[in-house]
Structure 1
Amino acid sequence: MRVAFVSLYPDQLSSDGATRRARRVAERLAARGHEVVFLCAQWWGGPLDEFEHNGVEYVAVTEEPAVRSFASKLPFALRRASPDVVHATNSPPAQVVAAKTAARVLRIPVVVDWWARRADDSTRMLRRATKGADRVLAPSRLVKTDVREYGAAADDVTLVPESIDFDLVREAGVDNRADLVYARDLDEHANVESFLLALAELRGRDWRAAVIGDGPERDAAEETAAELRIDDRVSFLGDLDPEEFVPILKGAHVFAQTATVEPFARGLLWALACGCVGIVEYQARSSGHELVENLDRGARVTSPQELADEVVAAAAHDPSTVNEAFVGYDHEPILTAYENVYESEIDAYGFF
C-alpha cells in the first residue's frame, strides 16, 4: 500500500502530540513494508526537495510552513505522489480541504487523524475539514466528541488510540528510585502543581517522587516544590526515552495524571501497562479518566486533597510491574487498526 501523509508541520519542525503521532505511524507503516511519502514543509537542510528518513520519503511541498502556500501546492504534490490513500492531520484544516480536492481527481480516500485544535484554526475551516474526510480517526472519546461538534457523524469517526511497546514493558528491568511518578511535557497545560500539592499533603509519610518531562514550566514546578518544602524528595528527571522511563514506572507504585489538556494520556498508558496504580485528576479537556474507567488499579479525583487520599489508598494494591490487560495497546495491533481503516476506505471508494 502507498500512503501519503499530509502535515504542514512535521514532527522534526514542530513537535507536539499530533506531529509525534503522525511520525510514529508513518515510520511503523514503512517498517511493515508499506510505501510511505510524507508531504510537509521542508525541515532538512540543503537544496533537496525530497529526503528519506527512517524509511519515510519526505517531500517538501513548501520551504516554509506557510498555510496558504502549502494548501495551494498540496493537490499537485499529491498527484505526483499518486498514493492509494491520504492520511492527513486535522490541523491546519486547510490542508485537509486541499487534500480532498486532489483526492476527488485521484479517486482515493482521505483519512483524517484528529488530535486537537490549534490556536489559528477557525471553526468554519474545521467544519470543512470534517466534511472533507472520508473517515476521521480519534485517539479518545473526548476527541471523538470534539469532531462530532464540528459536524462529523458518529459512524464516520473511528477510535484508534495511541500505542506503546509492550515487549519493552515486559522485558525492561526495574528501577526503584521513585514511589510516585508524574510524566508529561511541562507546558502550560501540565498542571504538575496538583501533583506537588498532593505530595505536600503527604509530607509526614515516607515517599520518593519523580517528575519526568521538560518544558517551559519546569522552572516554575521546581520552585513550587521548593516552596512546599518537598524538593528534597522530588526528582525532576527531564525528558527520557522509553528505555529510560519504563524501568522507573515499573519500580513505582502510583502514577498521577493531572494535566488540564490531554487528547490521549500516553504517559498514563505506559504507567498502567507497567503495573502502576493510576490516579487521574478529572479535567474537562483531558481524556485521562477514560483509561481508568472500571479499572481496579485506577481512581478518579477532583482535587489535590483527593489525590493525596487515593495515594494512601493505593497502598492496598500489591506491587506490580506488568499489567497484561493493556497488551491491546501494543504498537502492532494499533498499527493493524490503521491498516484496516485504510483498506476499508479504499474498498469503499472503489465500490462507489
Structure 2
Amino acid sequence: MRIAFVSMYTEQRRRDGATRRTRRTAELLAAGGHDVTVLCAQWWDGDVPEFDQNDVTYVAVTETPAAGSFASKLPFALRRAKPDVIHAVNSPPSHVTAAKTAGRFLRTPVVVDWWAEREDDSTGASKRAARAAKYVVAPSRMVKTHVREYGVAEESVRVVPEFIDFELVRESEVDSRADMVYARDIDDHANVESFFLALAELRDKDWRAAVVGDGPELDAAKQTAAELRIDDRVEFLGDLPPEEFVPVMKGARVFAQTAAVEPFATNLLWALACGCVGIVEYQARSSAHELVENCSRGVRVTSPQELAREISVAAHADDLTVNEAFAEYDRAEVLGRYVDCYTEAIDDYGFF
C-alpha cells in the first residue's frame, strides 16, 4: 500500500507527542512492507528535495515550516506521490483541509491522526479538519470524545493506541536499581512534583526512585527533590531508549503516572507490560486512567497523599516482570489496526 503522511512538523525538527507518534507509525508501516512517504517541511541539510531514513521517504513541501505556503503547495506534492491513502496529522488543521481538497481530485481517502491541538490551532479550523476526514484515528477514548465534540460521527472515529515492542519486554534483563519509576518528557505538564510529594510522605521508608526523561523543567524537578530532602534517593537517568529503560521498569515495583496532559500514556503502558503496579493520579486532560481500568495491577488516585498510600500497598504485591495482559499493544497488533482502517477507507471511497 502506498501511504502518504502529511505532517509539516517531524520529530527530527520538533519533538512532541504528535511528531513522535507520526515517526514511529511511519517507520512501523515501512518495516511492514508498505511504501511510506512523509510530506513535510525540510529538516535535512542540502538542496535535495527528498531524504530517506529508516525506509521512509521524506519529501520537502516547503523549506521551512510555514502553514500557509505548506497548505498551498501540498496538493501538488500529493499528486506527485500518488498515494492509495492520505494519513494527515491534525495540526496544523489547514493541512487537513488542503489534503481533503487534493484527495477529492485524486480520488484518495484521507485519514486524520488526532493527537492534540497546538496553541495556534483555532477551534473553527480544527472542527473543519475533523469533519474533512473519512476516518479519524485517536490514541485514546479521551481524544475520541474530544473529536466527537467537533461533530464527527461515532463510526468515523477509530481508537488506535500507541504501541510497544512486547518481545523486548519478554527478552530484556532486569535492572533492580529503583523501586519506583517516573518516565516522561519533563515539561510544563509533567507534574513530577506530585510524585516527589508522595515520596516525601514515605521519607521514613526504605526506597529508591528513578526519573527517566529530559526537558525544560528538569532542573526545576531536581530542585524540588532537593527541597524535599529526597534527592539522595532519586536518580535522574535522562532520556533512555527502550532497550535501556525497559530493564529498569522490569526491576521496579511501582510506576507513578502524574502528568497533567497525556493523550496516551505510552511510558505507563511500557511499565504495565513490565509488571509494574501502575498508580495513576487522575487528571482531566490525561487518558492514563484508561490503561488501568479493570487492571489488577493498576489503581487511580487523586492526590499525592493517596499516591503515597498506594505505593505502600504495592510494596506487598507479587513480583512480576512481564504482564501478558498488555500483549495486545504489541506493534504488530497495532499495525493491523492502522492497515484495517486504511483498507476500509479505500474500500468505502469506491462507493462515492
Shared fold by TM > 0.5?
Answer: yes
TM-score range (shorter-chain normalised) is over 0.9
* Counterpart residue number, 1:67: 67
Superposition deviation, residue 239 in structure 1: 0.3
Determine the C-alpha separation between the residues in 1 that align with 2:213 and 2:204: 26
Determine the C-alpha separation between the residues in 1 that align with 2:15 and 2:224: 27
Determine the C-alpha separation between the residues in 1 that align with 2:259 and 2:26: 27
* Counterpart residue number, 1:348: 348
Unaligned stretches of 5+ in structure 1?
none
SS at match of 2:187: coil
* Counterpart residue number, 1:190: 190
* Counterpart residue number, 2:224: 224
* Counterpart residue number, 1:153: 153
Determine the C-alpha separation between the residues in 2 that align with 1:130 and 1:233: 46
* Counterpart residue number, 2:18: 18
* Counterpart residue number, 2:27: 27
Determine the C-alpha separation between the residues in 1 that align with 2:227 and 2:96: 47
SS at match of 1:155: helix
Amino acid at match of 2:69: S
Establish whether residue 211 from structure 1 lines up as the match of residue 211 from structure 2.
yes
* Counterpart residue number, 1:247: 247
Structure 1 runs, 4 residues or longer, greater than 6 Å off? none
How many percent of aligned residue pairs carry the same amino acid? 70
1:327-338 correspondence runs (5 A)? 327-338=327-338
Amino acid at match of 1:93: P
TM-score, scaled to structure 2: 0.99
Cα RMSD after superposing both structures: 0.6
Superposition deviation, residue 315 in structure 1: 2.0
Q: Which whole-Å deviations, capped at 9, do the CAs of 1:121-179 have from their partners, x for residues lacking one?
A: 00000010011100000000110011011221111100000000000000000000000
Amino acid at match of 1:284: A
1:98-117 correspondence runs (5 A)? 98-117=98-117
* Counterpart residue number, 1:122: 122
Unaligned stretches of 5+ in structure 2?
none
SS at match of 1:59: strand
SS at match of 1:351: coil
Amino acid at match of 2:126: L
Q: Which whole-Å deviations, capped at 9, do the CAs of 1:186-243 have from their partners, x for residues lacking one?
A: 0000000000000000000000000000001110110010010000000011000000
* Counterpart residue number, 2:135: 135
Amino acid at match of 1:34: H
Q: How many aligned positions are there? A: 352
TM-score, scaled to structure 1: 0.99
